[in-house]
Structure 1
């Protein structure tokens, strides 16, 4: 499969999750993403990276909306000012499901795609070389976040860091791991920028690539259909929202 086909498929799934607020759409996108990751033999990497994002978000959503949802009327349990309501749990579950679908669909693509092939495909279609490199590199970094965090954690534990099992202990450990990760990514970006400059990436002119990309007429048609369909959905949602705002204003 051409990497641009995978990119359009992932983008279409993200558009569907954002355009239609229905659990069936989110479950369909999530199931399709998991199936695609399994077919591409990257399911383990995609799930591990997704858990890093989804689990903390799910805990936050359940704590805020599950316990302090103002529109909740069906009280399941109460703990002082906190009330567990069915409406709050339903709202939090919807947010978590939509976020999980968005995260998994993008990580399934980013862990599957071959960065050199994606960059070559972007440059061949007129995307500036530096922009294509930045986009491809960002996807590559996203696919290795879980691995990088694991290596940082192992290095810190070797130096004496003790990760306590309590929620507070895990948050402290997460903060100690995220700071080195961000510094590492910033330092890497500087090194890559210097390497690009030294290799003449800022010079004008046409470029050739030794990397070949698989493609077919069917894939090209599919990309155009999905791209136009996603654009139509976005325009329909925006126009509808603007019409409601203007109608309410009058």
Structure 2
């Protein structure tokens, strides 16, 4: 049975919320593995990889630098350079946070790469969401699959200007910044161009609209979305209640 776009969004969103609220690295790793397996099964793994790299590499590196080197509660010191200390506790904390962030990002990216944009627009419009907002959201999703080809063109342009990518992880990480910045700027520019084009075509105007695309929404999936929403709220409430109960 094909999932409604809002049902798949509820699955991805509730999974991200529950994983973050649980703060358990085994659960986060299991979600990461499941998202990776589903991306391979759905044939979107290769297209997702550049987007995952652009989003997660800076986040993970910043977490490692922040908590791995400057974790005040760390007692087991592995190495030290002045005020910077590599501690076991800091690395463990950074790994937990990185796994949580990675799990949330992966499930949301998987949803964006596997969701039908026309179905999403029709589903949002049917539920009274403003057509301009629905189209901007959907058009933003269409930018993500284009990251792979665009990143390749940026890399070719940078290499033509003299950028040398040395072999190995260190060399690729050093060249990543020179490719990521133009990629993000180009995506922002294209999003603004699309928004202006939508405005010129009347998507910002008010009035009744007719949808010529029917997206089936079985009652079972509507109930499933309610259950997923309640599960996400319960996970947040349990996380907020835990420190109080412990105190």
Shift of 1:13: 0.9
Q: Are 2:136 and 1:134 aligned?
A: yes
Q: Distance in 2 between matches of 1:74 and 1:173?
A: 33
Per-residue Cα deviation, 1:72-118 (whole angstroms, up to 9, x for no partner): 2223x324434432212211111111111011111111111121211
Q: TM-score, normalised by structure 2?
A: 0.83
| Distance of aligned partners of 1:187 and 1:66 in 2 relative to their CA distance in 1, 3 Å threshold | closer
TM-superposed CA distance for 1:16, in Å, is 0.7
Pairwise CA distance, 1:172: 6.0
Equivalent pair of 1:49/1:146 in contact (CA under 8 Å): yes
Count of residues paired in the alignment: 244
> Which residue pairs with 2:121 in the alignment?
119
Using the alignment, how far apart are the partners of 2:55 and 2:197 within structure 1? 31
Aligned position for 2:226: 224
Which runs of 5 or more residues in structure 2 are unaligned?
A: none
What are the equivalent positions in structure 2 for 1:146-225 lying under 5 Å apart?
A: 146-164=148-166, 173-225=175-227
Contact 2:10 2:225 (8 Å CA) reproduced? yes
Q: Counterparts of 2:169 and 2:29 in 1: how far apart (Å)? A: 29
SS of 1:144's equivalent in the other structure is helix
How far off is 1:164 after superposition? 4.2
Shift, 1:23, TM fit: 1.5
| Distance in 1 of aligned mates of 2:148 and 2:80 | 36
Scaled by the length of structure 1, what TM-score is found? 0.82
Aligned Cα root-mean-square deviation (Å): 2.9
Structure 1 segments, 4+ long, off by >4 Å, are 164-172, 235-238
C-alpha displacement at 1:169, in angstroms?
Answer: 6.3
**Aligned partners of 2:224 and 2:189: how far apart in 1?**
39
- Equivalents in 2 of 1:216, 1:191: separation in Å? 36
| Secondary structure of the structure 2 residue equivalent to 1:78 | strand
Task: Give the deviation of 1:51 after TM superposition.
Answer: 2.5
2:10 alignment partner in structure 1: 8
**Structure 1 residue aligned with 2:28:** 26
8 Å Cα contact 1:50-1:104 kept in structure 2: yes
In 2, Cα distance between equivalents of 1:125 and 1:67: 48
Q: 1:202 to 1:69 in 2, by over 3 A?
A: closer
